[in-house]
Every structure is written in C-alpha cells, then in structure tokens.
Structure 1
Amino acid sequence: MENARIYWSNWVGLLEVTDEVQIQKGLGNARIVLPSVGGTLNLRTLSPQTERRFTLTTEASNIYSSRLSFVYHSGLSQKGWALTLAGNRTVGPGYIPGTDLSAWGYYLALSKEVGTRHRLLLTALGAPQWHYQRFTYLTARDVDTLYRGPFHNYDYGYLDGQRYGNFRNFYHKPLISLSHFWTISPRVNLLSSAYMSFGRGGGSGILAVRSEWNPRASTTRLPLRYDGLIDWEAVRTNNRARRDTFIRANGDTLIGYAANLIHRNSINSHNWYGLVSALQWTLGPLEINTGIDLRYYVGYHYREVTNLFGADFWIDTFNVREGEPLRVVRSDTTYVLRNARLTRIGDRVNYDYDSYITWVGGFVEARYNKGPLTASLIFAGANTSYQRQENFRYRPENQPLRSPAVNIFSYTAKGGLGVRLTDESLLYLSGGYFTRPPFFQFVFVNDRAGNELAQNYDVEKILQGEAGLRWQSRLFAAQVAGYWIRWKDKVLMSAPISLPDGSFTQVRLNGLSALHKGIEAEVGFQPLPWLRLTGIGAVGDWRWEKDVFGVVRDNNQQIVDTVELFVGGLRVGSAPQTQVGGILRVEPQPGLYFALTAFYYDRFWASFDPESRTNPADRAQPWRLPAYSLVDVAAGYEAAL
C-alpha cells in the first residue's frame, strides 16, 4: 500500500497451488482501480478438486540446499465441502556466500457449496522466512583488480568465530480471505471477497556515529579484513576504546562505553483490511461489470537496537518525547545533548512513526463480444487518503502527533479492441489514460522525520497505447507487440549523495517525465509432444524527457540547496533495454523433464547521478553496463505414489 512493491518471499505459500500466472502488459484488461504502469500480475490458484489427491515434491539446486513441499486435495464431499492443504520448507546457503535462507510456506483453502447458487471459500496463506542479503554493489575494480570475483559479498564477516551478516530480512505476512460467489440468476453474478493481512518483520543494518562508517557511500565504510569481509571484531574494539561519564537531568551519573556503531532492526509491520466486490451482468453479447475496492492500512515503522558490539549503550537523540538533556564528560571535552537517551538492546531508536492509508474506489466496465470482434471500455476512480503519526520527534503539548489527512483523487479510462482475422490470428489495440497518487513517502517532506507535508508534488499522469498481433496453430504460436508510454510528474529520490559536513542525503526529484517505447515478441514451437521451444525478445527506447529541479535537504530536514538537474535525453536506468532469450524443454518419457533457459541482456544503463548533472552542456549518458547472459539448467522427475 505504501510503495506498491512485491516481495516474493511473502508469497512462497502459493508456489504449489498456482494454476496459472497471467501477465498483462501495460494497462491490460484487469479491473483494477489504480493500475500500475508496467502491467498487472494475476496468480490464479487451483480450484477445489473433485477427486482426492496427494503430491509430494523434493528439489535441490545450487541456490538452496533442499526444498520439500506437499499438496493435498480432499476432493468434493457429498455435502459440498472441499479442502486443499499445501506446505513447503526451504533451507540453504544461498547463491552468494553469506546469503543463507530459511523459509516455510503454507496454504489452506476450504470451500463449501451452499445450494446451487452460493459458494463460500475460506483461504489462509503465509510464508514465515528469514534470509541474508547482499546490498553492497561490486564495482569493476572489485572484480577485475582486487580479484574478488562476482560472488564476493561485502555484507558479512565473522564475530566470535561465527558468521555474522549485516543485512538480514525477516518477515511473515499471513493473509486470510473469505470469498462469496453468488449466482443471482443465469445472467447476473456477484463475487465478493473480504480479507485481512498482518505483516510482521523487517530488516537489519547498522547505525553509526562516525560518518565514515556509513555503508551507503561505498564498500569501505565498514572496516574490512584482508579478505574483504567485514571486521566485526574491529567494530567491537572501537566501541570499547573509551569510557565516558554521562550525567542525566536528575543528577544520576553513569560511566560506560557509548557505541560508535550498532546493529539495528528496521521494523516495517502492518495491518491491512480490504473488501472487493464485483457485479457481473450479461446481456447477450454485452457484459457489464461494476464493483468497489475498499482498503484500510496501518503501517508501523521503527528501529530497535539488536547488538551493541561490546558497548554499554547507544546514545539516541531523535526521541524528543522521552529525551532529556544529557551532559557528556570526556577526558578532552564536555558538552550537553538536548534530547538524548541512553538506549540498550530492544529499545527503539532513530525513528518511530505510523502510516495510515485509506483507499475507496470503484469501477464500471462494458465488454462486447460477438463474432470476430471483442471490445472493452473501463472507467475507474479512487480516493487515496494519507496520514502520518509521529511517535518520536514531537511533544503532544507542542503539536499534534498525527498529520492532517491528505486526500488525492485519481482515475482511469482505458479501452481495448480485438479483431479475429482468422481462426489462428488476432489483431488487438489498447490504450488509455490514468492518474496515480504519489507514494506515501513523497507526500511528506521526509516520511521518517516528521509530519511536514510536501508542497511540490502532483499526481502522476500516464498515457499509453499498445498494438499487437497474435497467431496460434497446433504446433506454432507467436505474438509481436509495440508499446508507447508517456509518464509525467513522476517523483523519485536519488541515490545517496555527500554533503560538505561528510554526512549523506538524497535529492528529491519532482516533475520527472519519461517516454517509454519499444517492441516485444514471443514465439513458441512444439513439433513433438515431448519437445517445446520458446523464444523471447524485446527492444526498448526509454528516456527522460526534460530537465528537472531537485531539492537538497540536510539531516535536520532543512533545505540547503535547490539545483537544476539537466537530465533531458538521458536513458532511463536500472533495467536492460534489450532482452533476448529462449527456453528448451524436453520430456523424453512421462514424468521426466530437462529444461534449459538462456537470456542475453544489453543496453543496460545505470541511473543518473544528481551530483554530475548540474552542467547544461554535459548530456553524456550514464555508464552503460557490459552485456551479460544468464543460463539456467533444470531437471526433474514426477512419479505417482
């Protein structure tokens, strides 16, 4: 709800029960109140089975040591009940050293036929997991000059002889839904689903006093051993290098080690409730669909101390509500901190806020299907409400803890036309225009540091169109499509940049406009029942269209500069604009298969660096990554038990 990101680790409970994966590029035909720019992903799970069945699967690869899963279908009972249970367990060292993982997945679906017109479906799924991550990018120097290779990981080391990683993600997001399918009449159907989800977890990292130990700038911000791994022992030694005296406001005196660097968890938990309902009405070749989409979301965001690395406490100066004057007496100096707390393991530090998002939307669709012609038209609208509650930086007697509600209305108008030229070929056109509210973080000056509302944002505006041709026969299938997308008033936060005092910040970029256009093609060929070939290719031309202004703030959220960034004509980075690949699948006998997947990626530019885009005469493109290929090999055997 806050940033529209998909974390696949939350959904591994669906792996064994996914029946079909639908990917609709661009606007597509999905009845979504607020569509995404790139497309829509729809995972269709297995419907209740009429027969009892049990499946057990074991897998192994070089990414995880082992994976065990099962699926059980009870079949449909005489009283209309059906149950599906699925579960999986995954463990392993990860593809990159120091990226160990451990995950569970579960899925339950219980359905009940109520007469001939009603069906109820209760679904519960989740995937508690943890895994270590490699966030620090490798440079060409790391690979070519230091000879550490592409598998090197700067984000772990050893502490007390045990492997200790910097970035660890842990999360569990159970989702429970109750769906009702009602056949009101042969021409009218009502589908409704109420759901709730309770995400709990976050990720780990460091907090440091010394700016040279900030890991966002480069790989050398944490002390490294001779082999390029983190020297956690050096961190502990530094934390215990000096004992200071601390005098609190009530006169209490403490003597101890204040940490220069600690390990913390960044918690991002949430409670999410929703209701989706759609009424379908068939009138001969015309089908009318209308529905609502209601959502309420509360996010809980804070950091907590998890490891002091030998120190006695960490000095936190961000909790204004509970902070107090603290006199620090050192051998060489004495000073007073205004709002300070001596925090220990388990205490909240750095930031603590809640996000409130309410979404009220609806849609109406008309679809016509007769003979070779198919047409659809969809209109949708939604009001998104944002509120933020600050739990650290404000005192209730001085200012409200919760911000005013920010209401942003957005709408969608899209349509499509398909003409079947022959029994084997289809020509289609689609297009539309929609607006989208900025993400939660862009509505506030700094979503981690206060309730101050941003003044210079606008709704994003997207105009796009697509045309394509599909052809399918018994042995051969092909599709080619061209797309054109203009995305205006986009807001981004840049990569971290350095300030004169040695600290780091990000530039807020408002009013970005990008033009995406390209051609995509896919072919499939199955000359024999046991042999299938698939080829995929895509070539894009994605560019930023105009120069923009960026606002630079320091760590106290004060504006230190407003700069014009000359980015018009630069390539959009962070994704390859040329992709070519193929899949070969061979099934020499029932149950046995071999699969080879190979992809080639090129024309991959880095994102532009704001610090190097202040000269109007400099229009050089960002760094272009070397072309690369990925190859996957898989084999499996399925046998009846």
Structure 2
Amino acid sequence: MKTTIKRQALAALTLAAPALVCAQSIENPEPDYYELDAVTITPLEQFSNRAIYGETPIAFSEVSKADLDTYLASQDIPMVLNYTPSVYATTQGGGAGDARINIRGFDQRNVAVMINGVPVNDMENGWVYWSNWDGVGDIASSVQVQRGISNLDLAVPSIGGTLNIMTDPAAKQRGGMVKQEFGSDGFSKTTVIGHTGLINDTFAASAAVARKMSGGYVDGVWADAWSWYVGASYKLNENNTIEFYGFGAPQRHGQNLYQRNIGTYSESFALGLDSYDPAALDRYYERGYAYNETWNYVDPDYDGLQADHHGIGPRRFPDYINERENFYDKPQVSLNWYFRPENSKWSWDNVFYYSGGEGGGTGTYGSVARVIDSGTYFHRNRDWNAQIAQNRANLNSEGLAESTGILRNSRNNQWTIGAISKVTFEASENWSTSFGIDWRTAEIQHFREVRDLLGGDYYLENGVQKGLGGTIDYNNTNTVDWLGGYFQAAYEKDAFSGFGMIGLSQISYSFEDFFRPLGNGQNYVIDSDDFDGMQIKLGGRYDINETVSMYANFGYVEKVPIFDNVIDDFTGRAYLNPPDEVFTNYEVGFNYIDSDGKLTLGANIYRTNWDDRAFSKSLRIEEDTDNDGVNDTVVFDEYVNISGVNQRHQGFELEGSYRFNKEFRLDSTLALNDWEYTNNVTARIPGLDTDLIPSEFDLYIEGLKVGDAPQTQFTTSLIYMPTSEMNFSARMRHNRDNYAAFDPLSRTDKTDTTQSWKAPDYTVYDLHMNWTLPTQTDVKYEVFASVLNVFDEKYVQDATDNDRFNSFDGDHDADDAAVHFGAPRRINAGLKIEF
C-alpha cells in the first residue's frame, strides 16, 4: 500500500518535543513529497510499541536524539519532558537521579517506564529511581511520551501514560564520539562512545562509558557516578537477528530528601505570600535556599570507617558526613531475538532480560545529637562531633564504647529475570493480529546494617553487640511473581485505522522474615493469594482529508494491588482484602498539517476516572463488653485496605509548531487540566461489616483538587537556525494551579473542606546553543552551551499541605506547607568530537 506523505509529517505531531526535527530542507524551504511504503519501523521499535505518526490513535510526543543532545544538559531524563503537555518533572531535593515525573496528574507508580520494551518500574511499588538509569540520556535514540492508555500492549497499568526510551542500536558505520561537559557547582562529565561498524554484513557493536562528578546546588548534595552501555547486533541469517543490550550506572550521591517550611529557605519569599503568617518565622527562621539539614561538618581527626555494599573502608569526605546518601548499582542486560521468516505473514519477537541491584540509602539509627540552636528541632543539622564524643565516653565494664546513635544503611539487594514473547500475524491486507506473554519474577532483600559507629566500638541491638556491617532493625526478603498475556487486532483500510486489545495479568507475593525464626531452620513466611487484573484498549483514527485527521480511544484497566497494599514488610502482617483499583479512560483528538507544511497542530480532550483507590491502614476496634466504661475486648485488630476514594482527571491538551521561514520556528504547548476528588467517602473495607469501621475513617474530600503537579501549563520555544550547523533556542515554561500534595486519609473533619495550599505561579526561561564548527576533515567538532533558569527564578516546585513537621497553624495556608524550591540558574557547556 502506497501513501503520499509530506516530509514534515514524519516529524510533525510530536509538537511538544523541544525541537522538532523538521525534514524541510534548509536550503529549499519548499516542502518535498515522496512516494513511499507505509511507514515501517525496526524490529526493536515494533517490539517496544513505538507510536507512529499518522497511524497510532493516541496522544504522544517524542524527543529525538538531536533534541536530547540539545536540551537535556546532563539532567535526569524526565526533566527534558517538561515541554510536553500535562507532563511535570522536578528535581525534588536536587540529588543527582532523584527526579520524579507526573503525567496527567498521575505519579510514577501509574506511569509505565520502558527501556527498549522492558519495564523498569519497581516490582514492589511501581516507583522509578532515575539514579539507576543515569547515563541513559547519552545513549538514547529517542524518548517517547504516550499520554493516557498508550500504545503499550503489555498488560501493565500505564494509566497516566507510558515513557518509552529507546537506546541507540549498534551503528552500521565505524566511528566514535568524545564529549566533555562542564557546568555549575563543580559539574564535570566525560562521555566516550565507540562503534565497530557493520562487519561482514552480519555483526556490529557499540559501547559507551561516562564519568560524572558534581558538587550540587544544594549543600551536601554531591554526585559521583559512572555509566556504561553495550549494544550489539548479529544477523544469523536472512530470517533471524539477535541483539544484545547492557547498561548500568554505579553511583553514589548525597541527598536532600526533606521538604521544609518556606520561611526556612527565605523570609522575604515567605512574607511576599498573602497567606503566610509572619509569626511563623519565629519558629522557622531563614537558612537559605541551599539549606539541607542532612549533612554537617565533622572533625577531620575522626577516622572512623564506614560499611557499604563494597565492604568496610574510609569515608569519602574527611571533613563532613552525609546523614542521607544513596549508593546503588543496578545493571540490566537483555537479549532480543527477532524471527522474520522469508515470504511469511508472521513474525516472532522475544526478549530475555536480567536486572540485578545492590546498594541502598543511609540514615541515622538510635539517638543522634543535633546542633543546639533556637530553630525547630527537625530543622537542625546533626552534630556529629557531639555524638562521637558521647559514644566514646559511653564505656561498658570491658572498656568498650557502646554507641547510642549511629549511621545505618537501609539495604535493598534484588534481582529480576523476565521474558517477553510476541507473535504478529498479517491475516490480510487490512487485518493484523498479535498476541504475547510477559513473565517476570523478582527477589528483593531488605535489611539494615551498621554503617558508621560514630566513635563507638559496637551498637547493642536486642542484647547483641553489632559491629560495622552488622544487621540491625529488620532483615527480610520479598518475592514478586508476574504473568501477563494479551491479544491485539488491528485494522487499516483507506483513511481508517484502528485497534483493539485485551490483556490479562496475575501477580503474587511472598515475604520471609529472617529475624523471626520458627525453629527447624524455618523462618516466618507469608504467601499471598494470586491477584488477577484485566485491561481493554480500543482506538481508531480517520483521515478526513490530506490535512486533518481525527482519533479516539478508550481504555479500561483493573490494576492488581501493589506489594505495599498486600503485605506490610515492616511488621510481616498481611492486609485484608487487597482490592483491584479500576481506571477508565476516554480521549478524542485531532491533528492538522497545512498544505505547505508550515503549521502543524494537535489537540485532544481526555477524561480518566480512578475508582476505588486503595489505601493501607492499621485498624484496631475495641469493645466494652462488661459495660464498665473501659474497652476490654478487641473486636478487630488488623491491617486493612480502605477503598471508595474516586478521582477524576480530565483536560484539554494542545501542541503546535509554526515555521516562519527557513531560519525561525515556534513550538508551543498548552495543557488545561482539572484533577479532583469526586466524592466524600464513607470508608469501606471490602468483605467486612461497615458498622465495625470507626467514623474517623470517613473522608470529606469531594471537590478537593488532586495535588502534586500544576494543572495549567504553557510552554513555548523559539528556534533560530541561521545555518544547518548552528542552532539557537529560547524556551519558556509557565506553570500554575499547582496544589500541594496531601493525604486524603487526613481529611476526616467534616468542617474542614478547604483546598490544599496552591503554590505561586511561576515562569522559567532556558537558553540553548549548538554550533558544529566548519572543518575540512571527517572529524566534526561541536560546541554547545545551555543556561537553565536564565533569570534565576525562585519558585516552589514541590509542596506538601499541612506537613507534619512544617505546619504552623494547620489551616492549609502557605505557612503550613513544606516545599522544595526549583533549581537555580545553572550553566552546562562543552565540546563534542565525532569521528
């Protein structure tokens, strides 16, 4: 089947991408037309469910490799997606790899993140830890954001959307690249990439390694990271191709995990807010935007050793200690096999993968001294010198020093193996079908260990002396077993294309506590039931004419419960009646490309309902059986799941691009969203008598806005390309209606229906420049520079309403919010050499 396609159309409709890779010739501004087969994609792209322009009936945006090179500026990958509609990414506390992403009001637990078609969300709770994937931006060929139900055929809950990251395949041309970057706050990064090129028309390989160091823009938030990548392809014969991918990012970095009252950062900013009570500054006094209480200086003469996943050795810094540090290494390898029988209508794609992680995070254990000053207790730095002196003076009868407060590691060692297999069959010229299975199993070991005795000789845990590396507090192993399957059919004829998909999934969990032996070599073990989920997706697209097309889709998802709603792995107790949460999604959109290819537009409206959102809670109900005024009988004492909370996420998204001439182009996006809780809740526990549930479990949340991301967003980018070797970009993003996050279970007072605090609107500007220097050789030299937050805007990016440790008077005002401020002005610049 032949299709006439404008060259621009191949790049259009990614309108939210920072820099559309416009196919229109710089020298010849007139659009070119081609007769070509219907757009085809590589086996890896087909396997990974890459959406196709003009074909896939969903809302999506794509950041190309050129866009990543221009705009990422060595940030975490989610940050480059802030110029796509209804996507919000922040650096949180500023730690390297501590970014988070929100799509259409849903956090990462309800966003499927895929790398080369392999899901990387945490198997226990669905979260994504971007520090594990540091360096992926260097080797990614594209990043595609599919909003809503997405084009993903795996039976995984991609409710907010899907983030689909594709890495570079093995290059067919021999060569390489060296890139050196420098930036603010002591940032430096060196990246080296090499390609063998295609050898004997059968084999090609690529490899990359990068080294990153940074001091961080927040006190004590440094980074020390490596990353590596290997990609190889081998053509066995005309029908079989094998690809291998491996990547990892061993790293450690200081963290700034805690949000704080606005006055702790800046008195002037706080007093500039209408709802901030000046009296709060007597409790939360100013410490500066870079303040981080989870580190402090220590006497360099203290030479105590520390334990981590590499063993026991000296501290990284002789003159200060981080209370909060993350250290982890989670490599992932996959083997892809693509079977394409000659002259056949069917194909078979397989991937077998392994990911193994080792490391954890640090914190204090026991009682550790804080600096004595007039500030709020929880906003004081640790006094390491005082604690070391205290531990050294606490001698037992044998003359050994018993530590009363220490540093600990919370360890998370894990492995995951999985396989995905898909068969596609072209039933006729118009019909195609596919079906597949997705199997995964994971084991995750959680334990705490002594990291630093802070001057002591041991820590006493349940009467046992623990030295460096000794296991304390908890020691358990969780397992997760997942099995999914799907069937999909697609139809295409003339101006119409559509698809339907049904997916089934089953998951089960287990928990083993090594601190609760039962005798005979057995430990306390819990095995969960099997939990079943289902999803249905339907979508269709119709080309009205050569310039306008319409699409619509529908999705229904029954999401299986996550581990945290099935077993409490701190107490080892199972929750009663873990429910499936239900999502329904409706979406209608259109795309427009004008006749000369200068203007492209895409718009859509969507509505996603989240019903029976589950919350875990402990419930104890007692009864006065002898009527003496004192409860003396426990009627119910269990860990339960509370359901009945419903949310509605709906909105309008617009993205467009206009090319004024061969030098100037303007890209813009707009998102107008309305995310809120739709009902007050008489809390219910499935399968239990509601008369047993105490009234304080009733929730008064109807009409309250869902927080944690701005509901109104506008971005625009002006791109100037005076030549094909030079690119200048000025970009702006404006966010508003960012309601502070809050726990719906906290709204139990029927007289308290005030919205959570709304953070101030803000606008941030970025500048980017790339220039490929003219040379007379095959070696290319490119200089580049980025200035992020050009005007050093001070703004609140994350907020929590009525925070437990930061609320002044608890009435949902600015003085009750805990916040993270956005990153200040930063510069990233460097030189790239390609050969």
TM-score, length-scaled by structure 1: 0.85
Is the 1:16–1:70 contact (alpha carbons within 8 Å) kept by the matching residues of 2? no
Higher mean displacement: 70-79 or 525-534: 525-534
Report matched runs for 1:77-476 at 5 Å: 77-142=199-264, 143-144=266-267, 145=281, 146-161=285-300, 162-184=319-341, 185-209=343-367, 220-221=376-377, 224=380, 229-240=381-392, 242-243=394-395, 256-282=400-426, 283-317=428-462, 340-396=463-519, 400-444=523-567, 446-450=568-572, 452-473=573-594, 474-476=597-599
Is the 1:265–1:304 contact (alpha carbons within 8 Å) kept by the matching residues of 2? yes
- 1:197 Cα deviation from its structure 2 partner: 0.9
Residue aligning to 1:535: 668
- 1:263 Cα deviation from its structure 2 partner: 1.0
| Counterpart code for 2:653 | E
Higher mean displacement: 369-378 or 133-142: 133-142
Is the aligned partner of 1:32 residue 2:154?
yes
Q: What secondary structure, in the 3-state scheme, does the structure 2 residue paired with 1:236 have?
A: helix
Structure 1 residue corresponding to 2:715, chosen from 568, 578, 581: 581
Is the 1:64–1:90 contact (alpha carbons within 8 Å) kept by the matching residues of 2? no
Is the 2:293–2:379 contact (alpha carbons within 8 Å) kept by the matching residues of 1? no
* RCO higher in structure (CA 8 A, sep ≥6): 2
Higher mean displacement: 176-185 or 407-416: 176-185
Is the 1:158–1:230 contact (alpha carbons within 8 Å) kept by the matching residues of 2? no
State how far apart, in whole Å, the 2-side matches of 1:392 and 1:213 are: 31
Is the 1:276–1:292 contact (alpha carbons within 8 Å) kept by the matching residues of 2? yes
Is the aligned partner of 1:621 residue 2:752?
no
Extract unaligned runs of 5+ from structure 1: 246-253, 318-339, 495-505, 552-558
In structure 2, the CA distance between the partners of 1:312 and 1:50, relative to structure 1 (3 Å rule), is closer
Q: What secondary structure, in the 3-state scheme, does the structure 1 residue paired with 2:766 have?
A: strand
- 1:417 Cα deviation from its structure 2 partner: 0.9
State how far apart, in whole Å, the 1-side matches of 2:447 and 2:256 are: 22
Corresponding residue pairs, total: 583
Q: What secondary structure, in the 3-state scheme, does the structure 2 residue paired with 1:406 have?
A: coil
Is the 1:86–1:106 contact (alpha carbons within 8 Å) kept by the matching residues of 2? yes
In structure 2, the CA distance between the partners of 1:363 and 1:507, relative to structure 1 (3 Å rule), is closer
Q: What secondary structure, in the 3-state scheme, does the structure 2 residue paired with 1:547 have?
A: coil
In structure 2, the CA distance between the partners of 1:71 and 1:395, relative to structure 1 (3 Å rule), is same
Structure 2 residue corresponding to 1:45, chosen from 160, 164, 167: 167
- 1:368 Cα deviation from its structure 2 partner: 0.8
In structure 2, the CA distance between the partners of 1:396 and 1:39, relative to structure 1 (3 Å rule), is farther
State how far apart, in whole Å, the 2-side matches of 1:399 and 1:458 are: 30
State how far apart, in whole Å, the 2-side matches of 1:399 and 1:189 are: 48
Q: What secondary structure, in the 3-state scheme, does the structure 2 residue paired with 1:10 have?
A: helix
1:241-267 deviation line (CA, Å, top 9, x unaligned): 64456xxxxxxxx56544332211111
Higher mean displacement: 86-95 or 429-438: 86-95
1:593-637 deviation line (CA, Å, top 9, x unaligned): 333332222111223356862321221111222222333333334
Report matched runs for 1:494-513 at 5 Å: 510-513=643-646
Is the 1:425–1:472 contact (alpha carbons within 8 Å) kept by the matching residues of 2? yes
Is the 1:357–1:387 contact (alpha carbons within 8 Å) kept by the matching residues of 2? yes
Q: What secondary structure, in the 3-state scheme, does the structure 2 residue paired with 1:565 have?
A: coil
Is the 1:512–1:548 contact (alpha carbons within 8 Å) kept by the matching residues of 2? no
Residue aligning to 2:650: 517
State how far apart, in whole Å, the 1-side matches of 2:536 and 2:431 are: 19
In structure 2, the CA distance between the partners of 1:189 and 1:367, relative to structure 1 (3 Å rule), is same
Residue aligning to 1:330: none
Is the 1:64–1:95 contact (alpha carbons within 8 Å) kept by the matching residues of 2? no
CA RMSD of aligned residues (A): 2.8
Q: What secondary structure, in the 3-state scheme, does the structure 2 residue paired with 1:441 have?
A: helix
Q: What secondary structure, in the 3-state scheme, does the structure 2 residue paired with 1:392 have?
A: strand
- 1:458 Cα deviation from its structure 2 partner: 0.3
- 1:237 Cα deviation from its structure 2 partner: 3.6
Higher mean displacement: 233-242 or 571-580: 233-242
- 1:148 Cα deviation from its structure 2 partner: 2.6
State how far apart, in whole Å, the 1-side matches of 2:406 and 2:727 are: 49
State how far apart, in whole Å, the 2-side matches of 1:239 and 1:421 are: 77
Residue aligning to 1:251: none
In structure 2, the CA distance between the partners of 1:563 and 1:48, relative to structure 1 (3 Å rule), is same
State how far apart, in whole Å, the 1-side matches of 2:169 and 2:521 are: 56
State how far apart, in whole Å, the 2-side matches of 1:619 and 1:222 are: 29
Q: What secondary structure, in the 3-state scheme, does the structure 1 residue paired with 2:698 have?
A: strand
Is the 1:550–1:562 contact (alpha carbons within 8 Å) kept by the matching residues of 2? no
State how far apart, in whole Å, the 2-side matches of 1:270 and 1:113 are: 33
- 1:313 Cα deviation from its structure 2 partner: 2.6
- 1:134 Cα deviation from its structure 2 partner: 0.7
State how far apart, in whole Å, the 2-side matches of 1:193 and 1:398 are: 38
- 1:358 Cα deviation from its structure 2 partner: 0.8
State how far apart, in whole Å, the 1-side matches of 2:471 and 2:502 are: 45
Residue aligning to 2:659: 526
| Counterpart code for 2:361 | G
Task: Among all aligned residue pairs of Structure 1 and Structure 2, give the percentage whose two residues are the same amino acid.
Answer: 27
Is the aligned partner of 1:59 residue 2:178?
no
| Counterpart code for 1:112 | Y
Is the 1:507–1:550 contact (alpha carbons within 8 Å) kept by the matching residues of 2? no
1:27-49 deviation line (CA, Å, top 9, x unaligned): 11211211221111111222333
State how far apart, in whole Å, the 2-side matches of 1:398 and 1:178 are: 38
- 1:493 Cα deviation from its structure 2 partner: 6.1
1:264-305 deviation line (CA, Å, top 9, x unaligned): 111112110010011111121111011110111111111111
- 1:560 Cα deviation from its structure 2 partner: 11
| Counterpart code for 2:333 | I
In structure 2, the CA distance between the partners of 1:287 and 1:63, relative to structure 1 (3 Å rule), is farther
Is the 1:301–1:354 contact (alpha carbons within 8 Å) kept by the matching residues of 2? yes
State how far apart, in whole Å, the 1-side matches of 2:259 and 2:379 are: 16
- 1:130 Cα deviation from its structure 2 partner: 1.1
In structure 2, the CA distance between the partners of 1:56 and 1:586, relative to structure 1 (3 Å rule), is farther
Residue aligning to 1:564: 698
In structure 2, the CA distance between the partners of 1:382 and 1:64, relative to structure 1 (3 Å rule), is farther
Q: What secondary structure, in the 3-state scheme, does the structure 1 residue paired with 2:340 have?
A: strand
- 1:56 Cα deviation from its structure 2 partner: 1.8
